[in-house]
Amino acid sequence: MNQSLLSTKPIRPEERLIMALDVSSITEAQALVEELGDSVIFYKVGMELFMSGDYFGFIEWLKERDKKIFVDLKFFDVPATVGRAIKALSQRGVDLATIHGNDAIMEAAARNKGDLKVLAVTALTSLDRGDLDDLGFQCDIKDLVLSRARRALAIGCDGIVSSGLEAPMIRGEIDHRLLVITPGIRPVDNREEDDQKRVVSVEQAFQNGADYIVVGRPIRDAESPRTMAEKIQNQIASQFT
């Protein structure tokens, strides 16, 4: 293990797993949270749940159960609009939120974040080189991610969302000054129908410098979600003992 890349931030090991509640209804999300119990402390609530019902009521429901909350809505709009949205969200008591876009958008979010930690998205883990070509990005994925990370740090964002494949490069360039949240975690071999392309294992993510990992389907679709969450928690704990 490369100890120099291992997260040095004062985060409890059990909080380093963020469970992605990518389900179709609030009722389904609540049932999954209840099933997972104390095996998961941190939850990501994203766009699918935003469209399914009482999103902010569900956030309050999670807070009542002492859960930490990552709002993954990837705010992208006119900078002033993003700034106002982030300011409003900062009053909801959530812990993390994602934004997308250029320097002006990141600056507006950073100015209005209060105690909320703002994360800049670098390049989605569902994208590969061909996808970036389709989108008109001529640079290498790693160059794009590093550029976004540098700008996020300079502007005042708290962290980035980045594949575990690029995390070592980020740590090498900007050390531990940003939070690195790594999605695309696959505890088992990646399946053909999986839409995530740039993936890593739990151990590899932390050895590459992640502060948090985001795991969804491997827990949600397991025969026993709680057993899978506990297995991942044990893998995380082994990295920080």
Alpha carbon distances (Å) from 208 to 36, 155, 175, 181: 27, 24, 12, 11
3-state secondary structure of 215: strand
Question: Do residues 96 and 73 make contact, with C-beta atoms less than 8 angstroms apart?
Answer: no
Q: Which residues contact 31 (CB under 8 A, 6 or more apart)?
A: none
Neighbouring CB atoms inside 10 A of 123's CB total 21
Q: How many CA atoms lie within 13 A of 152 on its CB side?
A: 28
- Any idea what DSSP says for residue 4? T
Question: Do residues 36 and 238 make contact, with C-beta atoms less than 8 angstroms apart?
Answer: no
| Residue tagged active-site, from 74, 142, 197, 231 | 74
| Catalytic site includes residue 68 | no
Catalytic residues: 74
